[in-house]
Structure 1
Amino acid sequence: MSQPKPYYNIVKNEAAKEATIYIYGAIGGIDWDTYETINTASKFTQEFNDVEKDADTIHIRINSPGGAVFEGQAIYNAIFASKKKIITYNDGICASMAALILLSGDEIHAFKNSLLMIHNSSSYYWGNKKEVEEQLLAAEKIDKALGTAIEDRLGITAEEVEKDYLNYKDNWFTTDEAEALGFYDHIIQKEKAQVPEDIMQLKPKDMVSKYAAMTFTIPKTKSKITNTMSKPNSFPNLVAVLGATLATTDKGSYINDEQKEAIDNRIAADALAIQTANSAKEKAEQDLQAEKDSRQQAIDAEKANTTAALKAMRTAATAAGVENIAENATMEDINTALTAQIAVLNKKPGASHTSGAAEDKDTEGEFDYVDFESSIYSQIKK
């Protein structure tokens, strides 16, 4: 019994948290020695889910003539539903179901000499007239389901898909044509894709048979790790910024592209936060200085008023006859001395010393030096 050729292989790069899946062969089919289905979606999707657990970016390189619709639909949906970054590549030819699997990627790359072929589903029909008619109706629904992948990629209607791509023809597109239509995001330069020279002359059935017999070089070993960074997980601050543990190898830790972007975004956010904080600090300092200046002006004005009042009080006290006022005398000291002086002056006769007293020109100043209230004059008859 012959062993069926594998139609895909998975190569993991644990250091970069990436994986590459090579779909190089017909999708689905029958092992005519055992009559068992081969190249099924169930095994692919199971291994694809395992890859998703460890890889942040998954590269899917396709060189396939297509194959079974239902197997291919399951593969397309598994890839399309992935939350990881998916990059698909047309490594030679993506025809029929393989073309639709190609459209499951977030980014689609192709070589300059890659070929893309899209057409309707095909099948064998048997049974009576009514049974065949029912199978034809099912084929129409299958085509509509397949067309949704083209609708999503190109942003066109189901009617446009039916007119230009599922029009019961084998629609071949060169890389330039496919890129112009919007199928490709990036064209790979220099390298050459593996494309059989007579591929466009073959019928789909013959194309699948040819690919099934071909031997492709599919990498089966992990890419070499050249990381020479420090010990694993030795960057706690970086881990805190990323919110995730760094990927590691036996030689050290590393960050992938998404983590690099996260760091750049964090640095930009921190720079903006620092700039905002500095602006707020400068404004707060300006407001504080303005408040200090305002308060100092109020204090200076109050001091000026106090000094003027003290000077006026000192002038009044000097005019009243208060002598020997100390240079550092306070307002209270001067007021006390002035009050005492006024009391003394009010005891002396003469209108010049008491407010409201009648003017006496004859005696003015004559007895100023006599204190008639003294006890020695109390016995003098008036």
Structure 2
Amino acid sequence: MIFQVQQNTIAAYGQIWEGNGMEFVSIFTQMESQYSDITVKIHTYGGSVFDGNLIFNTIQNSKKNIDIQIIGIAASMGAIISQSRKNKPRMVRNGYLMIHAPSGGTDGTATDHENTAKLLRSIEKNFKTLLVNSTGKPESYVAKWMVGDNWFDAEQALKEGLISEIIEPESDTIIANLNPQELGVQGMYYQFTALLTPKNESKINLDHTMKKPIIEALALTGVNEQSSDTAIIDAVNAKFAAEKSELQGKLDAEIKKRETAEESLKAKAKAAITAVVEAAKKAGKITQDQVATYESIAEASGIEVLNTVLGAIPARNPIYSQIQSHGKTDAVLGREEWDFDKWQKEDPKALEAMAGKEPEKFKELFNAKYKK
């Protein structure tokens, strides 16, 4: 987008490119410091939604008296920008306004495409809300403007409440049989551009007093207040490209750092699970064939759940120990009345053995102790 400034008037022409939002903010802020009344002239076929939103917000939040004029076409994001003030824009008699849903493209996975679709739906919802507030029409009515390209000439735009007034053209009259649907948005733009002749014949450019604060605010290099408008714009774009590259590098480094940390945590968790399962196998609670099952339990539900499950499994006694103890009793006369605390104090090894050999008796003592 090209911005041309003359005193308290800023004219915005062409496509809204990435970086135009910040460029507009810098120029407009300087104008606000000098003038209480500012005129914004629009002739654009849209472009970047995000930069367009920055332009929209800057105009909307200004405390100055802003007069928005559509001097050619205001299409796509340009139409949205034109609705940024409560006092609706004025449009030349031979001008056009076009509204449609936001569009975009994505390269990548299905998730990338789904995220883009989600973002576009959110932007479309914001557009509809804005148009409802601007025109006073119900959402069901403005929702129709999100289907296809919807063109409005000056009379139609006034009738729909999209503009407040029709003003005299700044370009020669466009032929009566002009068809926006046939020419398309860029064709319409160039029709006006070829005929557009500002009423004031003096050249409208960024003057030195405007260039200097832009250069200082953005810390631009390789340009000065004597540089051309194109050189200033190129320097702004180069700065944002460099900052974007730097931020992307930092983001990639953080992602790599996070992935490394996650891999380390996974390895530690795996080692902890293996240790618990091996201990249970050694204690005779599970067999080698069951190892994979209990490892899956831990991976799905966490090591705490694994500990709970394994803790409820009594240790299995080897067959030879059962044979050796056959016909014998582990009960000792005089211990029938011992409680859990007594066993722990007097014969903890026997209490431990009881958990495996006499689980019911151990459970009875344990429950009595802990009231389970």
For normalisation by structure 1, the TM-score amounts to 0.47
Question: Which has more radius of gyration?
Answer: 1
Structure with higher helix content: 2
For normalisation by structure 2, the TM-score amounts to 0.48
